[in-house]
Structure 1
Amino acid sequence: MINLLKRLKKEFLKKKLKDNEFLFLFDDPPEDEYVVFDTETTGLNPKTDDILSIGAVKIKQNRILLNDRFYTVVKPEREINEETIKIHGLRKKDLENGIPIEKAIKDFLRFIGSRPLVGYYIDFDVAMINKYTKKIIGIPLPNKKIEVSGMYYDYKIGTIPQGFVDLRFDSILKGLKIPSFGKHDALNDAIMTGLIFLKLKSKN
């Protein structure tokens, strides 16, 4: 029944697709391949905030393909305040040299293809991407989503008597003995999330 509903939803979205160039989003995903991604944004509300950068890497056969990565900075369509700049670390100069959001989204879609998407609190990042894909190609992302904080919770909960699992990003890195790259930008966070995913995937 669940598979039938998924197929029906997929067919419904395919009919709503406005640009046939992106029909590849509905292809069967390549075997044992994933895309890990992260976004930097002006805030935490997908309805009112905007994407400033997108970082992503591909995983194939349990290896992060650092030579096959995606990173782009988006030129904002409105003025960005100084406090926001302090959070994401992108300078005004970086943003002024960014690319238009429509090109960024289309390039990102070509990069991910039909692969499952992996992320840390991925629902937020997907919601930010969907804000634009709905306007540009008429549909939200049809890709499967995998949440690493949920994987980590399932892995840890049986070992903690009091039933509390610290799901902060740096705490997960520490708990899995994965080194932090220090600088938090979209690409570095995507790579570290990929390491989290592979470590947890190996424990299943």
Structure 2
Amino acid sequence: MNWLQQLSCHWQKTQLQRPELASMFGDPLVKQWVAIDCEMTGLNPKKHHLLSVAAIHINGDTIDTGNGMHLVCRPPVMPDRDTIVIHGLRTADVEHGMSYDEMLALLLPFIDNRPIVGFCPQIDIGFLNPVVKRYMGTTLPNKVIDVRQLYSQRMGDRTQGIPNQSQHLTNILAHYNIPELGAHDAYNDAIMTAMAFLHLRSRP
């Protein structure tokens, strides 16, 4: 972490309104990450809402699927019928879900200070940060690792001329012979993202 990142992290910590989460600002342990995936009613955080969040620890070369979490949230606006094909969650699935505060009370200690691994995680973080800031006074301080970007860097010129190859998780899974799990499930997507991340770390 360079001095500018340290300064930003220190400023964020001064904004923290929940002292029990102070450990999120500490240095993470080596080779420990958390894979995250979210389901939303759409892709615009200004008018769409979180529906579910899944998080799984990665410890060294092991994905701790036995202790992961998949939290279904109750959005302020129920999902539109036309969007169910995208996220797979019906009104009946989310109307008795957790409030965002209840979700964060479980999710944030689980994330703690681990770097966040995701596929296009900027989208998920864009939805999480507004509710995180309302909950604890500041946004997530964690380092964020984009599996799509890692794959693009690893492949280099080999992705040139192949439209959107590095933009689809299914391409990465196929490249490393990783089995695809069921769609429309944040927990399955988090597992697949974690598997892709480990392959990208260990293979050329």
**Smaller-chain TM-score bracket:** over 0.9
Instruction: Measure, in 1, the Cα distance between the counterparts of 2:92 and 2:60.
Output: 38
Question: Residues 36 and 117 of structure 1 are in contact (CA less than 8 Å); yes or no, is this contact kept in structure 2?
Answer: yes
Q: Which amino acid in structure 1 is aligned with residue 201 of structure 2? A: K
Instruction: Measure, in 2, the Cα distance between the counterparts of 1:114 and 1:135.
Output: 19
Is 1:71 aligned to residue 49 of structure 2? no
- Quote how far apart the aligned CAs of 1:164 are: 5.8
Question: Residues 152 and 159 of structure 2 are in contact (CA less than 8 Å); yes or no, is this contact kept in structure 1?
Answer: no
- Quote how far apart the aligned CAs of 1:165 are: 5.8
Q: Which amino acid in structure 2 is aligned with residue 42 of structure 1? A: T
In the TM superposition, 1:39-188 aligns within 5 A as 39-160=38-159, 162=161, 166-167=165-166, 168-188=168-188
Q: Which amino acid in structure 2 is aligned with residue 125 of structure 1? A: D
Q: Which amino acid in structure 1 is aligned with residue 125 of structure 2? A: V
Q: Which one is further off, 88-97 or 114-123?
A: 88-97
Q: Which amino acid in structure 2 is aligned with residue 57 of structure 1? A: I
> What secondary structure sits across from 1:58 in the alignment?
strand
Unaligned runs of 5+ in 2: none
**Runs in 1 of length 4+ with deviation above 6 angstroms?**
none
Residues 185, 20 of structure 1: alpha-carbon distance in 2 compared, 3 angstrom cutoff = same
- Quote how far apart the aligned CAs of 1:161 are: 6.0
> What secondary structure sits across from 1:188 in the alignment?
helix
Instruction: Measure, in 1, the Cα distance between the counterparts of 2:169 and 2:162.
Output: 18
TM-score calculated relative to the size of structure 1:
0.94
- Quote how far apart the aligned CAs of 1:80 are: 2.2
Q: Which one is further off, 60-69 or 177-186?
A: 177-186
Question: Residues 57 and 190 of structure 1 are in contact (CA less than 8 Å); yes or no, is this contact kept in structure 2?
Answer: yes
2:197 counterpart residue number: 197
Q: Which amino acid in structure 2 is aligned with residue 12 of structure 1? A: W
Instruction: Measure, in 2, the Cα distance between the counterparts of 1:92 and 1:165.
Output: 33
Q: Render the CA deviation track for 1:25-53: whole Å, top value 9, x for unaligned.
A: 11221221000000000110112211000
Q: Render the CA deviation track for 1:103-160: whole Å, top value 9, x for unaligned.
A: 1122110111000000000111111110101111111100001000011111112435
- Quote how far apart the aligned CAs of 1:162 are: 4.2
> What secondary structure sits across from 1:67 in the alignment?
helix
Identity among equivalent pairs (%): 35
Residues 47, 63 of structure 1: alpha-carbon distance in 2 compared, 3 angstrom cutoff = same
Q: Which amino acid in structure 1 is aligned with residue 104 of structure 2? A: I
Number of residue pairs matched by the alignment: 203
